[in-house]
């Protein structure tokens, strides 16, 4: 869900439900490092549910800055393979769009030189 309270501001919220691909799969960090696993596959497949909110400001057409907050509610898998606590993630972000060269305009059906 997204709303724009003003021209350069955007407020967004989202919901995610995370599942393992198989009961013997593992949970990995963004860098690919193993976080936790159930070798027997008996810990369940539901990792958890996440609720996110973020606020972003369009500083220019190329630069957007923002901050957000995520709350992860552990599912069966995390409850069985970790202490089972909820996790909170405040974060900041910046997005920069690199603009390529402007396309050469055609003159009389031919490219301008």
Give tens-digit pLDDT for 25-35.
999 988 999 99
Q: Give dist(CA 92, CA 89) in Å, integer.
A: 10
Q: What is the mean pLDDT of residues 66-78?
A: 97
- Tell me the per-residue pLDDT of 20-59, one tens digit each, with 9 for 90 and over: 999 999 999 889 999 999 989 999 999 999 999 999 999 9
53, 93 Cβ separation under 8 angstroms? no
Q: Tell whether the model's pLDDT for residue 79 goes beyond 70.
A: yes
Give 68's Cβ-side CA count (13 Å radius): 18
* Mean pLDDT score across all residues of the chain: 89
Contact (Cβ atoms closer than 8 angstroms) between residue 17 and residue 45: no
Longest alpha-carbon distance in the chain: 70
Residue 98 — very low, low, confident or very high, per pLDDT cuts 50/70/90?
confident
pLDDT band at 61 (very low <50, low <70, confident <90, very high): confident
Phi, psi of 101 (to 5 degrees): -65, 150
Beta strands in 75-113 (DSSP E): 87-96, 106-107, 110-111
Give pLDDT, residue 105: 57
């Amino acid at each position: 869900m997204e709303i724009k309270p003003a021209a350069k501001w955007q407020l967004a919220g989202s919901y995610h439900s995370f599942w393992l691909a198989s009961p013997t799969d593992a949970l990995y960090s963004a860098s690919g490092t193993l976080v936790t696993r159930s070798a027997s596959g008996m810990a369940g497949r539901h990792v958890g549910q996440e609720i996110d909110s973020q606020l972003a400001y369009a500083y220019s057409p190329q630069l957007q800055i923002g901050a957000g907050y995520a709350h992860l509610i552990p599912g069966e898998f995390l409850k069985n393979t970790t202490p089972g606590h909820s996790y909170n993630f405040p974060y900041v972000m910046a997005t920069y769009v690199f603009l390529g060269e402007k396309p050469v305009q055609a003159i009389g059906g031919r490219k301008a030189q």
